[in-house]
Amino acid sequence: MDSITSITRNQAITGIWTDFGTGKTSLVHDTDTGNRLVAFSAIWLALSMRYIKKIMANTALCMHLWWHKPKPNETSTTPATERDALLPGQPTTSLSKEAEILARIYKANPDVRDYLDEFWRNKDLTWGYRICLFLFTVLLSSTALGLIIGGILSAAMKSEGPARLASENCGLWMFDERSGGPEAATRAGVLDLIKETRAAQYAENCYKTSNSFSASNCNLFYRQKLPFSQARYTTDCPFRDQICRANQTVTFVTGYLDANDIGINTPAGPKFRRSTKCTPLSMEYPFIMNHTQNGTTTYHYYYGEKKDGEETVDYTYKTVGDPWDRLAPVYDVFAYVTNSTPYTNTYWNPRSELKYDKTSTLTIVFVSSLRILYEKRSDDPIFPADKEYFLPGSNKPWFRNSDPRARPFACINSIEVCLADGKTCWPFVGGKSPEETVPQGTIPPTFWLMYASLLNTDIIDSIAKRLGGSLQAQKLVSQYFSPALSDYHWVDEVEKMVATAHARTQINAWSISTGEDSTHEGKDGYTLRTPLSKYGDFCRTFKYYPRGYASIHLGAFISVCCALPVLFLLSYEWESIATPFKRITVRLRAQQARRREDNGQTTTATDDTGHNENRDGQSAVQAPQTQASQSLGTSHEDPQEESSTAQDRIQQATISREPSQHPSDSITASGRLSIESQIHSTDNFEPVEWEPLVISKLFEWLYLILSYGIWWPIIRLLKICVRCCAI
């Protein structure tokens, strides 16, 4: 594990990328840069509070004025002003002194401290209005506190991965017996043993349900472990002619695992699934026979023939004597397998009773326990402890295995690989391979990376080189003593073999993606089995959790960065935005009217109310103004001068409709003294009016769209088009 960590450090690809396993887009950078970005987002989020406060105060003012809106049968006692004459139809309010004071406080939009100060000190406010002000202050404070907490929680958008592995020398390098000699073969065996040991260690530490191992050492691969089912017990025999002993069969299966699960980043991930079924074998005649010569008994195990050098023998395995007589507290383990990969040759041919599907592999394992004493009795079919044994001077019985024969069990292991559709599938061994059935270039490189990762992941590979050292039972032995084993300890051993096979798949994917075996090309007899021209490029597709890198969720980061400008825009006064456009519209209409008069195309029509209208239906100068000019003897012989006068009047009328600057608009800038001076002089200022913000208009438009349905914006757009065409 340490070798993996040291090699993969500082090999991640920085920048923006998409994890197709989860669909999340992230920004990957070194940890220091990631911390700076998170700190920036927290500060950026805090700066948006002033605009949120403005929106909340504007909303409170709107609700306050709406609550005090006079009823239809009430008339305002406020005398009409010149502004009311210029802006007919504007709502007028008749507020009490206390309500007017609270409205001005909302309008002033001070800080939370000033709101609280007004709550305690302002004696002109009734208790009802004070409570309203206090509730608003609490809401505003809660929002500010929420932003502070949000800034703290914004650190959650940063994690330690995943990221893509940066490698330019990826590929599958394997030892070629034709180009390497005995020494190279030995080195290749040692290198494979290192991978196998690495996989077993990872499975031991990270595949347990209750794991006391350091979590950081298990958070290297994209998935900490590949899922597979719990042990399924059945009483059937996967073989025939009662070669199974006691009909105890256990099965471990997986569903279809996506290539993303082993760290291959691909939007359309190929899939694979694995099934392992094991059962103890019969130890009766004719499967095991023995003969004694010179006082030494030899046991032959007839479960199929095997190659012995240049010859072929009719037995599978043999043991000599009683293992108890050996002064070594260990387990002897030997295993044989049929073709486990497309690159292996047949070494053991099972007998006819061990019938299995040729698209699977059959593994037979022999286990012998030597001089080992157990605390309690066990009837496990592979790890028995059925005979009492008393140590000298002790009355406590220990237990040992009384049978000198090795205990055999067999496993059927099958792997199926499929394309992303889940329908085009091939067995990993036996039958035709994908290369033989699909035209070259039609299978994506990610499939071949997954396919290569499944090499050497059979049950035999998890015990082939470590043998007895691969057993959990061996790790429990201290000197000659072992804790008690359960009656189904052999199932635990099989489960560990399955976990090791899955872990080896993950390590193979990492090894191929890094191209770690490329350093042995040439003199060590390694050759590239996945040339780029045939299988495509495997590089920069493997994802894992690197050390020293931070992964920031891009969507959350962009949302935080956009919060400040969006809130700034939404809190802006609508009239300050709309007024320049109104002025531009007036100028454009005046220019259009001038051009029409120059072309002699100006026509007016007087309606029943005494107003003049042009062709596009827009209001022109009122009729009384024309009559007044006539009564004063104004000459209309010059149409250009008349048009200019009308344009000036339109501009003046439009400008007069713009909201005037209220004294309350300067409250925020003038500070606390200004608030008190303006609030306590309520007899000499104009009534407070609500000025809509941009967000107010957005909600208004949304309400109209929801009220009138989808046809309202279409009809509105058609009207605008008609007016433009008329102009």
- Residue 531: CB atoms within 10 A of its CB come to 11
Where is average pLDDT lowest: 299-303, 373-377, 392-396, 539-543?
Answer: 392-396
Q: What is the pLDDT confidence band of residue 654, given thresholds at 50, 70 and 90?
A: very low
Domain boundary among 111, 133, 159: 159
For 594-616, what is the mean pLDDT? 53
Residues 105 and 254 in one domain: no
Residue 5: per-residue pLDDT: 47
Answer whether residue 680 is part of any domain. Answer: no
Of all helices (H) and strands (E), which one includes residue 15?
Answer: strand 15-19
Same structural domain, 444 and 373: yes
**Is the separation of the CB atoms in 33 and 557 below 8 Å?**
no
Residue 205 has pLDDT above 80, yes or no: yes
Q: Over 60: is that where the pLDDT of 422 sits?
A: yes
Q: Do residues 206 and 221 make contact, with C-beta atoms less than 8 angstroms apart?
A: no
Which amino acid is residue 50, in one-letter code?
R
Where is the domain boundary, 134, 159, 184? 159
In a domain, 99, yes or no: yes
- Where do the H-state alpha helices sit in 599-681? 623-631, 639-656, 667-679
Pair of tokens at residue 188: 């290749």
Say if CB 373 and CB 389 are below 8 A apart.
yes
Rounded CA separation 290/246 (Å): 22
Strands 407-418 and 317-320: unpaired
User: Does the residue 133 lie in any domain?
Assistant: yes
* Residue 62 domain-assigned (yes or no): yes
Q: Tell me which of 545, 561, 595 is where a domain ends.
A: 545
Residue 595 belongs to some domain of the structure = yes
76 and 44 assigned to the same domain: yes
The answer to whether residues 351 and 479 belong to one domain is yes
pLDDT of residue 21: 87
37-58 pLDDT, tens digit each: 888 888 887 788 888 888 888 8
Please, what is the average pLDDT of the chain?
A: 77
Residue with tokens 């531009």: 584
Distance CA 201, CA 499 (A): 10
Q: Are 425 and 152 in contact (CB under 8 A)?
A: no
Residues in the chain: 727
User: Total domain count for the chain?
Assistant: 3
| Residue 98 CA, distance from chain mean position | 54
Closest to 364 in 3D by CA, of 289, 422, 288? 288
pLDDT in tens, 185-196: 888 888 888 888
pLDDT score of 346: 65
Highest mean pLDDT among 364-373, 599-608, 619-628: 364-373
Domain limits for position 304: 173-545
The pLDDT of residue 385 is 92
What confidence tier does 624 reach under pLDDT thresholds 50, 70, 90?
A: very low
Do 67 and 146 lie in a common domain? Answer: yes
Note whether 449 and 333 are same-domain residues. yes
Mapping DSSP to helix (H, G, I), strand (E, B) and coil, where does residue 535 land? helix
Q: Kindly state whether residue 723 falls inside one of the protein's structural domains.
A: no
3-state DSSP helix/strand/coil percent for the chain, to nearest 5? 45, 20, 40
Looking at the fold, whether 117 and 148 belong to one and the same domain comes out as yes
pLDDT in the model for residue 50: 81
**pLDDT band, very low/low/confident/very high, at 725 (cuts 50, 70, 90):** low
Residues 507 and 579 both lie in one domain:
no
Q: Which band of pLDDT confidence, cut at 50, 70 and 90, is reported for residue 8?
A: very low
132/110: higher pLDDT: 132
> Same structural domain for residues 434 and 505?
yes
- The mean per-residue pLDDT over the stretch 350-363 comes to 87
Q: Based on the fold, state whether residues 266 and 240 are members of the same structural domain.
A: yes
Handedness of CA 509, 550, 258, 363 (dihedral sign): positive
- Least confident piece of the model among 64-73, 385-394, 539-548, 565-574: 64-73
The strands making up 288-293's β-sheet, listed across from edge to edge, are 288-293, 296-301, 317-320
Together in a domain, 19 and 54? yes
Strand order in the sheet with 605-606: 605-606, 611-613, 619-622
At a CB cut-off of 8 Å and minimum separation 6, what does 696 contact?
58, 62, 574
pLDDT band at 175 (very low <50, low <70, confident <90, very high): confident
Q: Are 409 and 279 in contact (CB under 8 A)?
A: yes
* 244/387 same-domain check: yes
Q: Is residue 66 part of a domain?
A: yes
pLDDT of 663 reads: 38
Alpha-carbon gap, residue 361 to 458, rounded angstroms: 8
Three-class DSSP labels, 246-276 = CCCEEEEECCCEEHHHHCECCCCCCEEEEEE
Please state, in angstroms and rounded to a whole number, the distance separating the CA atoms of residues 427 and 452. Answer: 14
Tens digits of per-residue pLDDT, 665-702? 444 444 444 455 555 444 445 677 778 888 887 877 77
Query: Out of 51-55, 180-184, 219-223, 329-333, which region has the weakest mean confidence (pLDDT)?
Result: 180-184
Token pair 């190279």 is at which residue? 184
Nearest to 166 by CA among 1, 14, 2, 4: 14
**In 151-225, at which residue ranges do the beta strands (DSSP E only) sit?**
158-159, 163-164, 173-175
What pLDDT does 73 receive? Answer: 55
The answer to the question of residue 696 being in a domain is no
